[in-house]
Structure 1
C-alpha cells in the first residue's frame, strides 16, 4: 500500500533570498520521505481579472491543477503592510475561480508566516486563514506559526537558531499529522 502524500508549497515572497523560503526549506527538510513536496510557483502568474474566467490561461490552469492534485497546501509567507503580499493574494484568487470550481474547496491548508519584525506576520497569517475558511478550505488550527525576528534565526541562508529549529520541527510534526488525517 502506497502511503505517499503530496504537499504543495506556496511561498508568498518572490525574493530569491527570502526569509520565508529559508523557513519553508527547513520545515520541508523535517518531513518524512513519504511526503512529496512540490513548490507551486506564483511569480509568473498574471494578475487575476474576472474577465479571464472565460479564457484559457495556461499558467492559471497549471496552478489550479497543481493545487487540486496535492493532498495539502503549505503557505509560507511574509506580511506586506499588515496583510497578504500581492502575489499570494493573486494565487488565492486565481485558484478560487472560475465560480463553482475552486481548487481550495475542501483542500487542507497550513499557514506559516515569518517576518523580521516583532509581530511575525500575524496579521497576514490571520488574513490568509480568513480567506481560506471563506473558500471552504480545511485550515490547520494548531500550532499557529507567526515567526517574529525571523532574520535573527538565519545564518548562511539556513535556519540556524536552535530554538527556532525546535519550534519549526514541532510544527513539521503537527503538519505531518494534519496531512495524514
Structure 2
C-alpha cells in the first residue's frame, strides 16, 4: 500500500504557534501510511498577476509541493475574524494562474486552535468558502475548534488532555477514511 502524502499548511508564522503544535499532534495521531509535508509559506512574495507567466522560485516550489500531495490539511489561526493573510497569499499563489489551480480536486481537512472560546470558527468558515470555490472537497464533520489552554499541547505535539486526544483522534480517523474515499482507495 502506498503512502498518502499530505500537504500541511500552518497559517501561523509565529515561533511558538499554537497551530503548529496542533499540526504536530495531528501528525502523531495519523496512521503510519500517512506522510506530512510542511508547506513553507513564510518566504512567498505577495501574489501578483504579473508573475503568472514566470513564477518566482518560491512560488513554483509551493505549487510543486501541492501538486505532489494526495491530500491537504489546513491548520489555521484566526486573525480579525478571518484567516491570516499569509495563508490566503499562499492559496492565491498555488491556485493561479487561471486554469492551473494546483489544489483542484485534492481532498482537504480544516482545523485550528486559539485562546478564544470559539477557537478559529470564523477563519475556518472563510477558508472553507475559498476552498469550495477552488474545487477542493473539504471534510465537513467533525469540525475542530480547539481552545488553547496551558498544558493542552506541548511543543512536540504531545496532547496533555485525554478528552482532547480522543476528540482529535476521532477527527484524524474520519479524515483518513474520508481522504481514502475521495481518492478511491
TM-score of the two chains, using structure 1 as the length reference = 0.94
Report if aligned partners of 2:131, 2:138 keep a CA contact under 8 Å in 1.
yes
Name the counterpart of 2:180: 180
Report SS of the residue matched to 2:149. Answer: helix
Distance in 2 (alpha carbons) for counterparts of 1:140 and 1:156: 26
Name the counterpart of 2:12: 13
Unaligned ranges ≥5, structure 1: none
Is 1:168 the counterpart of 2:168 in the alignment?
Answer: yes
Report SS of the residue matched to 1:114. Answer: strand
Deviation at 1:51, TM superposition (A): 1.4
Is 1:151 the counterpart of 2:149 in the alignment?
Answer: yes
Match runs of 1:45-124 below 5 Å: 45-124=44-123
Q: What is the aligned length?
A: 179
Structure 1 stretches (4+) deviating beyond 6 angstroms?
none
Deviation at 1:55, TM superposition (A): 2.0
Deviation at 1:6, TM superposition (A): 0.8
Deviation at 1:154, TM superposition (A): 2.7
Report if aligned partners of 2:120, 2:145 keep a CA contact under 8 Å in 1.
yes
Give the CA RMSD over aligned residues: 1.3
Could you say which structure has the higher strand fraction?
1
Deviation at 1:177, TM superposition (A): 0.7
Deviation at 1:153, TM superposition (A): 5.0
Report SS of the residue matched to 1:38. Answer: strand
Deviation at 1:159, TM superposition (A): 2.8
Distance in 1 (alpha carbons) for counterparts of 2:151 and 2:23: 13
